[in-house]
């Protein structure tokens, strides 16, 4: 392995704690240990911190505090959100884009319905809005799920163009988008995950607009307060602080990242038999995915790790599923030799240049060793 410090280029999977989150978390650990449901001093203190976290997150997401709930993760938020919407409507069918996060696909599979529909996407990963709306109007459909941005290729989805039928709520998975791009305005429920924006892991967010029919689909009380049991008050407050700080610096960071990724995309396109995927313009600013023929994705990732660059592969067979990326397959893109690079808030131009040089050398080396 490389003796140099790793250049972390997998921020789309998880980010380091934002400095604002670290400072807030340490301070809150001494105050947020109590049960917010109790009336003693420690309980009232914890309730104050939790309510403050909800108010900050609500303001950041253009919602009301009573519309915000904290969950155990972004995946948990998607499951509670989608299944709660369909439970409330009494119709189990879920219409969704073919490139949604696996949490959506798992929720769909968990409660089977003949009304389920996966809507195709084009070569950039953008969903067919007309087909989505048509499918949403069919009998038995209780909810529509459409992500704000794709977690593998970065393509932004046309959420605000979706005019779902009355009584069919729209859930937007915004985990990949929060903190990077402005969020869509048209949604009934929204989910996100704090560790994607510099907050601590283990904090998901579920927002349900007032007037939207939703009920807790799992054992427990209805309502968004204290979903899933005892709340992690310090982590929720740290997540709120990170979100507030990230949004304050978003414009500057996103502009810098967008330019760096443009440079990276250009460098990758100079490699023979390499395909850059996703929309080149309507995309997340910090993320690029590409596929190299004749090279295994895990092989490239391991080679780059030895050179000191931490990246991800969304297409190589994983130990758990042994299946290629459903996102790339739905787009008709290469699912072999895939690499996803996602920049952090502190990634520099020199680090990107170093990565481009290492990538070219390793791809050429691997292909040469294979006799290509």
For strand 287-292 and strand 338-342, is the pairing parallel, antiparallel, or unpaired?
A: antiparallel
**The residue to which tokens 């009998």 are assigned:** 139
Buried b (16+ CB within 10 A) or exposed e, 111-125: beeebbbbbebeebb
State phi, psi for 137 to the nearest 5 degrees: -85, 0
Strand, helix or coil for residue 199: coil
Residue 285 structure tokens: 């600013």
Residue 4 structure tokens: 């140099």
Burial label, 76 (beta-carbon count in 10 A; 0-12, 13-18, 19+): buried
Can you tell me the distance from the alpha carbon of 193 to that of 176, in angstroms, rounded to the nearest whole number?
8
| Whole-Å CA distances, 132 to 100, 153, 157 | 13, 20, 12
Find out whether 219 and 76 touch, Cβ atoms under 8 Å. Answer: no
Catalytic residue among 60, 292, 317, 356: 317
Can you tell me the distance from the alpha carbon of 301 to that of 303, in angstroms, rounded to the nearest whole number?
6
Residue 60 bears catalytic tag: no
Query: Hey, which residues are catalytic here?
Result: 317
């Amino acid at each position: 392995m490389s003796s140099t410090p790793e250049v972390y280029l997998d921020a789309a999977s998880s980010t380091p704690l934002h400095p604002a989150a670290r400072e807030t978390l340490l301070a809150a650990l001494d105050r947020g240990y109590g049960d917010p449901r109790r009336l003693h001093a420690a309980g009232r203190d914890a309730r104050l911190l939790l309510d403050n976290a909800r108010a900050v997150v609500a303001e950041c997401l253009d919602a009301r505090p009573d519309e915000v709930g904290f969950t155990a993760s972004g995946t948990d938020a998607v499951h509670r959100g989608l299944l709660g919407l369909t439970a409330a409507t009494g119709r189990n069918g879920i219409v969704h884009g073919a490139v949604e996060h696996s949490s959506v696909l798992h929720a769909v599979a968990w409660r089977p319905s003949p009304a389920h529909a996966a809507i195709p996407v084009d070569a950039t990963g953008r969903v067919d809005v007309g087909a989505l709306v048509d499918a949403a109007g069919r009998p038995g459909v209780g909810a529509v799920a459409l992500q704000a941005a794709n977690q593998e290729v970065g393509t932004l989805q046309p959420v605000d163009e979706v005019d779902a039928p009355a009584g069919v709520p729209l859930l937007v998975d915004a985990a990949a988008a929060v903190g990077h791009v402005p969020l869509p305005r048209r949604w009934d429920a929204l989910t996100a995950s704090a560790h994607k924006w510099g907050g601590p892991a283990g904090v998901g967010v579920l927002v349900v607009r007032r007037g939207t029919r939703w009920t807790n689909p799992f054992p427990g009380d209805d309502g968004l307060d204290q979903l899933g049991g005892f709340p992690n008050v310090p982590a929720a407050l740290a997540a709120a602080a990170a979100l507030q700080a990230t949004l304050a610096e978003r414009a500057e960071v996103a502009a810098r990242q967008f330019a760096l990724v443009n440079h990276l995309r250009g460098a990758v396109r100079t490699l023979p038999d390499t395909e850059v995927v996703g929309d080149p313009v309507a995309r997340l600013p910090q993320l690029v995915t590409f596929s190299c023929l004749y090279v295994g994705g895990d092989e490239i990732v391991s080679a780059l790790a030895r050179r000191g660059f931490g990246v991800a592969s969304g297409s190589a067979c994983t130990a758990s599923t042994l299946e290629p990326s459903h996102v790339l397959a739905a787009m008709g893109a290469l699912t072999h030799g895939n690499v996803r690079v996602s920049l952090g808030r502190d990634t520099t131009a020199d680090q990107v240049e170093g990565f481009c040089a290492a990538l070219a050398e390793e791809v050429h080396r691997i292909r040469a060793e294979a006799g290509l």
